[in-house]
A and B are shown apart, each in its own frame.
Chain A
Amino acid sequence: MDRILRSLLEWITSLKLTIICLGLAMVLIFVGTLDQVNLGIHAAQKKYFESLFVYWAPAVLPFKIPVLPGGYLLGTILLVNLVAAHATRFRLSWKKSGIFLLHSGVVLLLLGQLLTQLFAREGQMSIDEGKRKNYSESFELSELAIVDTSASDHDEVVSIPTTRLARGEPIVHPLLSFVVKPVRYFRNARLTSRAKEPQGEASLATEGLGPKVVTKELPVTYNPKEKNMPTAFVELSHEGKTLGTWLVSEALVATQPLSIGGKTFQMQIRPTRSYKPYWIQLLDFRYDRYTGTSVPLPRNYSSRVRLTNPSKNEDREVLVYMNNPLRYDGETYYQASFDDKTETTTVFQVVRNPSWILPYVSCTLVGVGLLVQFLIHLVSFMRKRTVPA
């Protein structure tokens, strides 16, 4: 037992393992980059870098085979390997000071990236000129939003992630007096008006917009220019009695009204919203082009916005443009893009990343460590070089 433990320890602290892992990481990154052409950046990131293994699922086999270690596995092994090696084999010395610095930086970098992948949240906020918004929307997640509009001065939103709809179990919530039971769920679907497709399959819906629409399931798309439209048929029941089946879909722009138990609701599937305690209003969007270009080349685009936070008594104007984001309340708003047809709608990338400072710290450590080590080498290199006779 002792022998096995000892050789395991030797293996986990060995330089050979480091080199093998780095080599495998290179293969992973190379293959993952090529596969981005097929999958798009987000899906490729999940498959290769945010996973334990990369699988291959050939049609002939009923299961999938792991062919490469994924980002999380390799990252963990490298981390353990580095820390273990330092703990057991390395001896503190001035000559190796650079290496200590830079390795600690690498550890911090790996940890920081892990924290970012787990905790950072990215969304987008698109605002038309003159209008204002107090929420950002997720790029990939969607929710079934049931909004209680009974009160005149506020709305109460119950947000059901579409992943819950996929499970098929009835959903109960204290704020809702009725039960939502998903009957069918599609990750992507196409909706056409029944008037245009009278021969279409009969709808499972009995209430709302559903019956007027032909619903066809589509395969999940990875094309970065297309969006998946989560769609579901849900049966609502109040105090044991069924109220009917509704079609809900991200492809349906309009909300559907409900009147249940003396309250009014609006129901809709939409990108998952993250509400903020403040408002951002777009005052003016500017798109400056270079004059005299054959293909329009953007010189600068900028948004002048008004930030109002009633609870903190804040009301000020801010200019947001490329390389100059707005940082507020732990979130950062970057000028990401705009509606290129109307040029009056701005799109911000909204990011909350509590571990943002880690890459800066770790990179300083690694940079300084490399510089120190490099200088140590350079000095001894220049002392020992040969001049031919």
Chain B
Amino acid sequence: MKKYFPHLLIVVCVLWLFASWRSPKNARGFNAEGFGRFPVLVEGRIKPIETAARNALLIMRGKQTFRQGATGDGKEIKLTAVEWLMDVVMRPSVADDYKVFLITNPDVLGAAGLDSTQGKFFSLNQLKSKAVDLGEQARTISSVAPELRNPFQKELLKLTGNLLLYQRLRHSLHRDETTEFSRELGLYQGAIKPGIEAVQNRQAGQAHNEQDLKLISDFFNQYSFLAESAYLYPVPHAMDQQWQTIGSSLLATMKSGTLDPAVSFYAAIVDTYRKNDVPGFNNAVERYKNYLESNFGGFLSKVQSESVFNHLEPFYKAMVFYVLVFILALLSWMTWSGPLGRAAFYLLVLAFIVQTAGLGWRMYLQGRPPVTNLYSAAVFVGWGAALLGIFLERLFRNGIGSITAAVMGFLTLLVAHHLSGDGDTMEMLRAVLDTNLWLATHVVVVTLGYSATFLAGFLAILYIVRGVFTAALDPLTRKALGRMVYGVICFATLFSFVGTVLGGIWADQSWGRFWGWDPKENGALLIVMWNAIILHARWGGYIKERGLMVMAVFGNVVTSFSMFGVNMLGVGLHSYGFMDKAFFWLALFVVSQLVLMGLGMLPLRLWRAFIEPAPGKKRAEEEALAAV
């Protein structure tokens, strides 16, 4: 049993990995999953409706699913993101009661006429009465420079932004007053020719049919509004940047006379959903899917792939695995060290494979190298650390590589998770970043350098914690850790230097100067210099093992400042930056590292591990050391 424990564990984990392949069935029988897999253009990128729904819900509510506790007469409501979006887009009167807006700031609650006793989620209907006031406030706040806004102002703008997003979603497929969209489209098509004739007659100063004129003007105004305010661009086109909103496609119909098939399909979908016609809806979804397969197969298969990616949630699952690895590795130091150690290692490799698959999948979906924004940088830092950790564990087989990789994998994925709250993590890149060559070289290399600096720091933390609080820092482990940290810092120096230089070359090609002393560049330089200082100090004998560890921990401070602190410079120092969440966590992290450094600098006689061990044990250790 003990022998097969690691293998059993892996089997169970792999099964769990694929369990969420499909989304839960819709309670009323609608093929919501099929609808969620339709491609739309949002924020410059073609994605499945499901991603747009998840992102919108994440921005408004802070979670990718919707849940509302049982109210007086109703039951508890549980919806997937797509199901929620379907109601917003097609049954707004129902959706307006969903408590989807997250508001926690007391001043904002006050401005909205609400209070925290009502909970932290609110529906559109609860906010409707104060919507105009909030809009006024937002207008005055926008004239204040972003760096100088206080938390109330920032949160209020966030709320009005969310309200706007909600409205735009609402007007994405049809005007919510429409009773039967398909019929309306028929009426519209019939009204075009007589309507245009009436307009031309009036312009020429001749007699015209007033009714025809009014009909076409009404349609024109309504569809113009739809065209401008829609958030989703569902009408496909061979070129991705030329997809249209339903509104603009309908306006184009005025010239061409023909309705885009996609519009008719969506009209059928809207009508059947609103009438609660489950078979009709599912049929319409199937027909549109077939149409997409024949005419826009490339887009369809890519968004279907992204849908699967959304369901599998590889980074979340990797996070869970890392926690398990940590527990297993920790337990392996106390008992059953063989099987538990192996189980930890196998699971670590599985987690790494899952994270690699996730990153690779993202690369395929985006058509980009792995790191394109801060979110993916955090994920990649964890990936790099896991890779190095696996390498170290293979060499030393003492659980240290596993534990450090697990801690770093977990922390980086947690940070990444918190960086994803602003919306699409696979966002499009601005012009200067639109270069796969530099993204693949400079960004990847420098991120690996950061990864290694963090890994050295965490190995050093392990050394300090084990040494000060436990007796488990025997000379063998000390030597191993010393070698590990030194080796990783060499790696870090190489990669952070080369990465920084590649950045300079990119800047030279793009802006005309190799080095401009700007905050991001300075941050990277600080990391290179700190790693270099460590190597020089060790070479000169100014620091030995303990000094190496303490300095490596400071490397965490330098790297976190470089990755996150420089982004806050415009924010943190002018305004009430101490209230800013991200700044708070960064400061907390820095303080924790300084405390650990302080612990590391305590006199050795205070370290538990250095209290004299039993004579028999001491002899055994000396013999083992001599054999090295």
Q: How long is the Cα–Cα vector from A353 to B435 in the complex, in angstroms?
A: 24
Q: Which residues of A contact B574 (CB under 8 A)?
A: 37
Q: In the bound complex, do residue A359 and residue B431 qualify as a contact, i.e. CB atoms below 8 Å apart?
A: no
Our pick among A292, A336, A349 for the contact of B243 (Cβ within 8 Å) is A292
Considering only residues 557-585 of chain B, those with a C-beta below 8 Å from chain A are 566, 569-570, 573-574
A298 vs chain B, min Cβ distance (A): 5
Q: Which residues of A contact B43 (CB under 8 A)?
A: 290, 292-294, 297
Q: Which residues of B contact A370 (CB under 8 A)?
A: 493-494, 497-498
What sequence of 0s and 1s flags, for each residue 426-450 of chain B, a beta carbon within 8 Å of any chain A beta carbon?
Answer: 0010111011001000000000000
Q: Which residues of A contact B514 (CB under 8 A)?
A: 113, 116, 356, 359
Q: In the bound complex, do residue A374 and residue B529 qualify as a contact, i.e. CB atoms below 8 Å apart?
A: no
B375 vs chain A, min Cβ distance (A): 16
A180 vs chain B, min Cβ distance (A): 34
Return the chain A residue nearest B245 by Cβ. A292
* A252 at interface by CB-CB < 8 Å: no
Q: Which residues of B contact A32 (CB under 8 A)?
A: 517, 522
Q: Given A292-B42, A323-B432, A389-B624, A29 and B573 touching (CB < 8 A)? A: no
A196 vs chain B, min Cβ distance (A): 24
* A256 at interface by CB-CB < 8 Å: no
Considering only residues 355-395 of chain B, those with a C-beta below 8 Å from chain A are 395
Q: Given A49-B517, A323-B435, A359-B505, A292 and B476 touching (CB < 8 A)? A: no
Q: How long is the Cα–Cα vector from A385 to B391 in the complex, in angstroms?
A: 13
Return the chain B residue nearest A388 by Cβ. B398
Q: Given A322-B434, A351-B512, A377-B487, A363 and B501 touching (CB < 8 A)? A: yes
* A366 at interface by CB-CB < 8 Å: yes
Q: In the bound complex, do residue B573 and residue A37 qualify as a contact, i.e. CB atoms below 8 Å apart?
A: yes
Considering only residues 210-251 of chain B, those with a C-beta below 8 Å from chain A are 231, 233, 241-243, 245
Q: Which residues of A contact B233 (CB under 8 A)?
A: 291-292
Q: How long is the Cα–Cα vector from A289 to B430 in the complex, in angstroms?
A: 9
What sequence of 0s and 1s flags, for each residue 467-499 of chain B, a beta carbon within 8 Å of any chain A beta carbon?
Answer: 000000000100110010001001101100110
Return the chain B residue nearest A23 by Cβ. B533
**From B533, B569, B573, residue with most partner A Cβ within 10 Å:** B533
* A139 at interface by CB-CB < 8 Å: no
Q: Which residues of B contact A381 (CB under 8 A)?
A: 483, 487
Q: How long is the Cα–Cα vector from A49 to B395 in the complex, in angstroms?
A: 44
Q: Given A325-B512, A366-B497, A298 and B573 touching (CB < 8 A)? A: no
Q: Which residues of B contact A309 (CB under 8 A)?
A: none
* A18 at interface by CB-CB < 8 Å: yes
A211 vs chain B, min Cβ distance (A): 37
Interface residues on A, range: 35 or more
Our pick among A288, A351, A382, A386 for the contact of B513 (Cβ within 8 Å) is A351
Q: In the bound complex, do residue B44 and residue A353 qualify as a contact, i.e. CB atoms below 8 Å apart?
A: no
Q: Given A25-B529, A351-B513, A386-B479, A299 and B434 touching (CB < 8 A)? A: yes
* A97 at interface by CB-CB < 8 Å: no
Q: Which residues of B contact A254 (CB under 8 A)?
A: none
Q: Given A374-B490, A381-B487, A290 and B428 touching (CB < 8 A)? A: yes
Q: In the bound complex, do residue B526 and residue A29 qualify as a contact, i.e. CB atoms below 8 Å apart?
A: yes
Q: How long is the Cα–Cα vector from A322 to B498 in the complex, in angstroms?
A: 23
Q: In the bound complex, do residue B511 and residue A297 qualify as a contact, i.e. CB atoms below 8 Å apart?
A: no
Q: How long is the Cα–Cα vector from A116 to B515 in the complex, in angstroms?
A: 10
Our pick among A36, A366, A386 for the contact of B476 (Cβ within 8 Å) is A386
A240 vs chain B, min Cβ distance (A): 48
Our pick among B431, B483, B536 for the contact of A300 (Cβ within 8 Å) is B431
Q: In the bound complex, do residue B569 and residue A299 qualify as a contact, i.e. CB atoms below 8 Å apart?
A: no
* B397 at interface by CB-CB < 8 Å: yes
Count, chain B residues at interface, CB 8 A = 70
Q: Which residues of A contact B491 (CB under 8 A)?
A: 374
Our pick among B241, B476, B529, B628 for the contact of A22 (Cβ within 8 Å) is B529
* B346 at interface by CB-CB < 8 Å: no
Return the chain B residue nearest A290 by Cβ. B44
Q: In the bound complex, do residue A299 and residue B44 qualify as a contact, i.e. CB atoms below 8 Å apart?
A: yes
B202 vs chain A, min Cβ distance (A): 34
A284 vs chain B, min Cβ distance (A): 17
Q: How long is the Cα–Cα vector from A12 to B480 in the complex, in angstroms?
A: 36
Q: Which residues of A contact B498 (CB under 8 A)?
A: 363, 367, 370
Q: Given A37-B573, A386-B628, A298 and B536 touching (CB < 8 A)? A: no
* B539 at interface by CB-CB < 8 Å: yes
Return the chain B residue nearest A370 by Cβ. B494
Q: In the bound complex, do residue A388 and residue B397 qualify as a contact, i.e. CB atoms below 8 Å apart?
A: yes
What sequence of 0s and 1s flags, for each residue 270-294 of chain A, a beta carbon within 8 Å of any chain B beta carbon?
Answer: 0000000000000000001111111
Q: In the bound complex, do residue B532 and residue A22 qualify as a contact, i.e. CB atoms below 8 Å apart?
A: yes
Return the chain B residue nearest A358 by Cβ. B514
* B530 at interface by CB-CB < 8 Å: yes
* A371 at interface by CB-CB < 8 Å: yes
Q: How long is the Cα–Cα vector from A374 to B487 in the complex, in angstroms?
A: 9
Considering only residues 296-331 of chain A, those with a C-beta below 8 Å from chain B are 297-301, 321-323, 325
Q: How long is the Cα–Cα vector from A291 to B44 in the complex, in angstroms?
A: 5
Q: How long is the Cα–Cα vector from A29 to B44 in the complex, in angstroms?
A: 38
Our pick among B44, B165, B515, B539 for the contact of A113 (Cβ within 8 Å) is B515
* A258 at interface by CB-CB < 8 Å: no
Return the chain A residue nearest B477 by Cβ. A388
Q: In the bound complex, do residue A387 and residue B512 qualify as a contact, i.e. CB atoms below 8 Å apart?
A: no
Q: In the bound complex, do residue B396 and residue A44 qualify as a contact, i.e. CB atoms below 8 Å apart?
A: no
* B205 at interface by CB-CB < 8 Å: no
Q: Which residues of A contact B430 (CB under 8 A)?
A: 297-299
Selected A-B contacts with CB under 8 Å, 19 pairs:
A19-B533, A19-B537, A23-B533, A33-B569, A34-B569, A120-B513, A291-B233, A292-B41, A293-B43, A322-B431, A322-B435, A351-B512, A359-B501, A359-B515, A366-B501, A370-B493, A374-B491, A385-B480, A388-B398
Which residues of B pack against A, CB within 8 Å? 41-45, 165, 231, 233, 241-243, 245, 395-398, 428, 430-432, 434-435, 438, 476, 479-480, 483, 487, 490-491, 493-494, 497-498, 501, 504-506, 508-519, 522-523, 525-526, 529-530, 532-533, 536-537, 539-540, 542, 566, 569-570, 573-574, 624, 628
> Which 8 pairs show the lowest CB-CB distances between chains A and B?
A290-B44, A351-B512, A363-B501, A15-B540, A359-B514, A298-B431, A370-B494, A322-B431
> A15-B539, A120-B513 are known contacts; what are 8 more A-B pairs with Cβ within 8 Å?
A23-B533, A291-B243, A292-B231, A293-B428, A323-B510, A334-B511, A363-B504, A370-B498
